[in-house]
Amino acid sequence: MSLDKDLINKLVKVTSRAAINCYQFLGKGNKKIADKAATDSMRNDLNNLEINGEVVIGEGELDEAPMLYIGEKLGKGKGPDIDIAVDPLEGTNFAAKNIPGAISVLAISEKGNLFNAPETYMNKIAVGKDVPYDATDLDYSIKKNISNIAESKNKNINELTVCILDRPRHKKIIEELKSLKVNLKLISDGDICGALLVTDKKYNIDLFLGIGGGPEGVISAAALDAYGCKFQGRFLFETDQDKGRAKKMGISDLNKKYELNEIVKGDSIFCATGITTTEMVAAVKKENTKFITETLVTHKESSIEIIKSEEPIA
């Protein structure tokens, strides 16, 4: 099966329309209603595609509808068999407050090529393609990772910048990075966007690490793969319920460290449309009789591009 340009254009429309459907709820302080608007839009548009799709990375389980849940079938039931990873509104707090960082995002692959992951936490590390593969590892100490990156980039440690979620669980890591005199970019939410900052030197992020959402890790990996970046992740299964769900999904080694090529196999498409402004894509704009959106699209086999779209105001 070929993940072709025609399908890319249709998927761009899916994330663009989900972003547009959030527009009226920006800054209204209600993240649930914004999330529902994006989710309903995405479900409706995916169900109108000539695909036989299944959600392998979603926002919850079957009993948590209206979320796009893991195992949900999407599309008209004919056409290519594909795995779908979705986050209709990544950065719900950003949308509720109308501040930078909210996106609508999805990733797809051929059936069986996207990791089927439960909604749990993941310990992650990501670096750009300009860092040698063996220079960093999830199991290295912070100091070793930082020192190896500095050496490989011919930089002083105090010239490096690390992106990490600003959470109490990262207190020790943040303190160690400060003691090493590393520059920090602390983000409050949105670790898909955070991980993607290692893709280009213009963002000035040398390392992304820390514990965030597992689904977001898988979705990020699809984009990072197209950029030739390195990503590793280890799921954190803390409760018996988490462990049981993981085993049902076929995960036997609960402590396994996953390489990028184990999370995303073969070809994939990633689309992220700006809802509010991000470093990568602009916010949805309302202009006279139309909405204008920007979508970052990565297709591992062909291209990485920003696509501008227009949609008439209904």
pTM, two decimal places: 0.94
| Residues 6+ positions from 20 with CB-CB distance below 8 Å | 41, 284, 291, 293, 311
* Omega cis (within 30) before 66: yes
Pairing mode of beta strands 290-299, 81-90? unpaired
Query: What interhelical angle do 142-153 and 171-179 show, nearest 10?
Result: 50
| Residues 6+ positions from 55 with CB-CB distance below 8 Å | 68, 69, 70, 71, 72, 74, 84, 85, 86
CA torsion, points 234, 170, 270, 85, in degrees to nearest 10?
Answer: 60
Q: What topology does CATH give the domain 121-263?
A: D-Maltodextrin-Binding Protein; domain 2 (3.40.190)
Q: Other C-beta atoms within 10 Å of 285: how many?
A: 13
Q: Where in the chain is the domain with CATH 3.40.190.90?
A: 121-263
- For CA atoms 137, 217, 16, 21, give the dihedral sign: negative
Which pLDDT does position 252 carry in this prediction? Answer: 86
Architecture of domain 5-114+267-312: 2-Layer Sandwich (3.30)
Which pLDDT does position 1 carry in this prediction? Answer: 42
Query: Is the distance from CB of 195 to CB of 123 less than 8 angstroms?
Result: no
CA distance 181 to 177: 6
Q: Where in the chain is the domain with CATH 3.30.540.10?
A: 5-114+267-312
Q: Other C-beta atoms within 10 Å of 308: how many?
A: 12
Mean pLDDT per 10-residue section of the chain, whose length is 314 residues: 80 98 96 94 96 88 65 91 95 96 96 86 96 97 98 97 97 97 95 96 97 93 96 92 85 93 94 97 96 96 92 88
Which pLDDT does position 13 carry in this prediction? Answer: 97
